[in-house]
Amino acid sequence: MGEGARAVWAIAAKDLAIEWRTKTAFVSALAFAVLVLAVLYFARDPTAVASLDVAPGALWVTFSFAAMLGLNRAFLLEQENRALDGVLLSGVPRPAVFLGKMLANLVFVGAVELVSVPLFILFYDVPLWHRVPELLGVTAMATLSFVAVGTLLSAMAVRTRFAELMLPLLLLPFLVPPVVGAVQVTARILAQRPLSEVAGWLKLLAAFDIVFLFLAIFLFEATLEE
């Protein structure tokens, strides 16, 4: 393992260890995800709209809202006692700091998603068990870009006066392309159609991931103190 990769892992492991000891954020994000899934199930006219029709949208609204809760926490931890200064003083290259924070966020959001998917299948009664790998694949693709942008924006949002409101305001526009793409792909998966039908959407998701991952790594430097 290279020097950089070790640094990335050390930072991610630090954040995950903090989370593992309390589990407060994880438990609340998960409870929140279950609540959103349940509320959205009832947010329709059952005689007119089948639960299957709202299922892809419900899943992605749940994921993005739950992720936003987790993202806010990432840099809040570093605010206390100016912990981020300590991390930066350790001489770890800045892109590695970003990738470490992002990796921890990915694990956090990914864990919430992993637990929500079976609940979603149960709640919405979608015949999906054998297509879970594909669903997880598209989930990973859509999650990567919004966690990358979200990590970057949360580094800025924590320094503002109303951080909890600032992150959703800044991040939600960035959710449009990945969420639209993911909902389209999820709908095809639920309709038992092959993924080849949504090749265009998968390409869009991949392009979005690449562009915003690189931009986020590159711009992270500018969010830190000189």
Partner 1 sequence: MTSRDRAWLLARRGSVVTAVALLGLVAVYVRALFFTPIERFQGPAQKIFYIHAPSAWVALLSFAVTGLLSVLYLWLKDRRLDLGAAASAEIGVAFSVVMLTTGPLWGKPIWGTWWTWDARLTSTLFIFLLFVGYLVLRGALSDPEVRARYSAVLGILAIPLVIFIHVTVYLFRTLHPDPVVLKPEAPSLPGEMLVTLLFSLAVFTLLYAGFLTQRYALAVLRELEDQEAADAVS
Give residues in contact with partner 1 (CB under 8 A): 149, 152-153, 156, 159-162, 166, 169-170, 173-174, 176-177, 180-181, 184, 200-201, 204, 207-208, 211-212, 215, 219, 222-223
Nearer to partner 1, 69 or 179 (CB): 179
Give the whole-angstrom CA distance, residue 150 versus residue 174. 9
In angstroms, what is the minimal distance from the CB of 29 to partner 1? Answer: 24
In angstroms, what is the minimal distance from the CB of 155 to partner 1? Answer: 9
Are 140 and 158 in contact by the 8 Å Cβ rule? The answer is no
In angstroms, what is the minimal distance from the CB of 169 to partner 1? Answer: 5
Q: What share of the chain is helix, strand, coil (3-state, %, to 5)?
A: 85, 0, 15
Give the whole-angstrom CA distance, residue 222 versus residue 169. 20
Give the whole-angstrom CA distance, residue 37 versus residue 35. 5
In angstroms, what is the minimal distance from the CB of 22 to partner 1? Answer: 28
State the DSSP code for 45.
Answer: -
Nearer to partner 1, 125 or 164 (CB): 164
Nearer to partner 1, 49 or 169 (CB): 169
Nearer to partner 1, 129 or 162 (CB): 162
Using CA atoms of 193, 197, 199, 200 in order, give the dihedral in degrees to the nearest 10: -130
